[in-house]
Structure 1
Amino acid sequence: MYLGDEAWPDLESYFESESLALVPLGSTEQHGPHLPEATDHLIGEAFARAVADRTGYLCTPTINIGVSGHHRQFHGTMWVEPPAFRQYMESLTRNLTSHGIDRVIYVNAHGGNVPHLREVGARLRQDEVAYAIEWMWNDSIPELVDDLFEQNGPHGGPKETALIQYLEPALVHDDRLEEARDTGIPDVEAAETIKHGSRTFYDAADNTDNGVLGDQTDATAAKGVQLFEAASDQLVQLCEWLAAQKFEDLMPREHV
């Protein structure tokens, strides 16, 4: 069920019987010369909408702009500062609790959002108002990602390319895949910005001139289908697990 499609009287029965919501998130940021800036939020929304259709759980509108300041040197990247993002996500989640939602899955497709969503979730749990957890598609199927790609990225690499080839093929510049590979870097180690155990880089531009890593020519829409179906299955199972938990069992323990 997609919240934005429903009239308010028709949502009453959902809130009376269910307490789980999916909140898709991503970013609007550079993804190299071959992928759209919408890449992350297109992926997050696709997973959330598909799983909501399969399970009947509620899917909210998508958060399209996240913590992406580390991509700011590339044209068109949009971002919000981390404190503003955390405040917004906490406020949005507390809004859902006013309707009876007490467990939330942030269906997130942007790595820069992860620590901030974890912080928001921890705060909401500590206040015992909601149990909110972050889910990233590639973290749910790491073995498949490794099996499909020799150099999987992470950013703007073949795994994201394959998903967009499947989800939104018209937005992929397939004629630029070799350029993306040849003017980028295979992985962070190749950038030589890890010095004596220290990550000396802060921005994507410190590592890669074109903004991406990996071998984009290894991507195909068929691989995108495999990724999407496998990760969707994982998200369905996560929804079912979370819905089955007693709320009090999700809350912090008093003492050990």
Structure 2
Amino acid sequence: MYVADRTWPELGDYVAAESLAVVPLGSTEQHGPHLPLATDHLIAEALAREAADRTDVLCTPTVNVGVSPHHRQFHGTMWVDAPQFRDYVESMTRNLAYHGIDRVVYVNAHGGNAQHLREVGRRLRDDGTMYAIEWMWDESIPDLVNEVFEHNGPHGGPKETAMIMHIAPELVREDRLEDARDGGLVDLDDSDRYMKHGARTFYDAIENSENGVFGDQTDATPETGERLFEAATEQLVHLIEWLNDRRFEDLMEPAHVDPQPGSRR
């Protein structure tokens, strides 16, 4: 159920009976010469809306701009600073709580958002508002991703290329796949380019990849993209069902260990 397509009376029927929502989040940032800047938020919204349709839960509009300053050297990349991103997502999520939502899944497709969504979830649980957790699509199916690609790549690689080939094939510049591979960093085992004596020596993607992407994009196919999409959607559906079955009290912050502070005063 996509919230923006509904009327307020229809949503009243939902919140009277249900209390879970999915919130898709991505980014608007460079994904090499072959993929659109919309890649992450297209993936997040497609997965969130498909899982919401299969489980009949609420799906909010997508947060399209995320924490992406590490891609800023490439034309078109947009970002918000981390504190503002956290505050915005927290505020948006709290208005869901006002309407009766007490558990949220952040359907995330941008690695730069992950730690900040975890922090927002902690804030919301610590004050008893709701239980909100971050879910990253490729982390839900790591074995499959490793199985289907020899050189995966964490950004703009074959997994994201295959997903967009499935979700929005008209946006993939298939004539640039070899350019993406040859101008980027294919083998991530070449760690000397970004690690020195156990320290990460880089801050921005361009320091490791001239065209901003990693892995071998020529491995991607629409069929593989469909396989990844279905597997990730299945995992998200299972997560939603698991979360729906939990008692709210069991999701909240556990009690301090005994003896309780001040109990002997």
Q: What band does the TM-score fall into relative to the shorter chain? A: over 0.9
2:55 counterpart of 1:55 = yes
Question: Who is 2:210 aligned against?
Answer: 209
Q: 1:1-256, aligned counterparts within 5 Å?
A: 1-190=1-190, 192-256=193-257
Superposition deviation, residue 188 in structure 1:
4.1
Q: Which amino acid aligns with 1:198?
A: A
Count of matched residue positions in the alignment of Structure 1 and Structure 2: 256
**Inter-partner Cα distance in structure 2 for 1:39 and 1:193:** 25
Unaligned runs of 5+ in 1: none
- TM-superposition CA deviations, 1:174-213 (whole Å, max 9, x none): 0000010011011444261200000000000111100000
The 4+ residue runs of structure 1 with deviation greater than 4 A are none
Whether contact under 8 Å (1:68, 1:78) holds in the other structure is yes
Whether contact under 8 Å (2:34, 2:174) holds in the other structure is yes
**Inter-partner Cα distance in structure 2 for 1:96 and 1:111:** 24
**Inter-partner Cα distance in structure 2 for 1:163 and 1:136:** 14
Superposed CA RMSD: 0.7
**Inter-partner Cα distance in structure 2 for 1:5 and 1:123:** 30
- TM-superposition CA deviations, 1:51-96 (whole Å, max 9, x none): 1111100000000000000000000000000000000000001000
Q: Which amino acid aligns with 1:54?
A: R
**Inter-partner Cα distance in structure 1 for 2:181 and 2:250:** 47
TM-score of the aligned structures, taking structure 2 as reference length: 0.95
Q: Which amino acid aligns with 1:203?
A: D
TM-score of the aligned structures, taking structure 1 as reference length: 0.99
**Inter-partner Cα distance in structure 2 for 1:130 and 1:111:** 23
Identity among equivalent pairs (%): 67
Whether contact under 8 Å (1:19, 1:100) holds in the other structure is yes
Q: Which amino acid aligns with 1:255?
A: H
- TM-superposition CA deviations, 1:130-180 (whole Å, max 9, x none): 100000110000000000001111100000000000110000000000010
**Inter-partner Cα distance in structure 1 for 2:189 and 2:36:** 25
**Inter-partner Cα distance in structure 1 for 2:238 and 2:42:** 22
**Inter-partner Cα distance in structure 1 for 2:5 and 2:205:** 37
Whether contact under 8 Å (1:40, 1:109) holds in the other structure is yes
**Inter-partner Cα distance in structure 2 for 1:49 and 1:247:** 24
Whether contact under 8 Å (1:29, 1:37) holds in the other structure is yes
The SS at the match of 2:100 is: coil
**Inter-partner Cα distance in structure 1 for 2:137 and 2:74:** 25
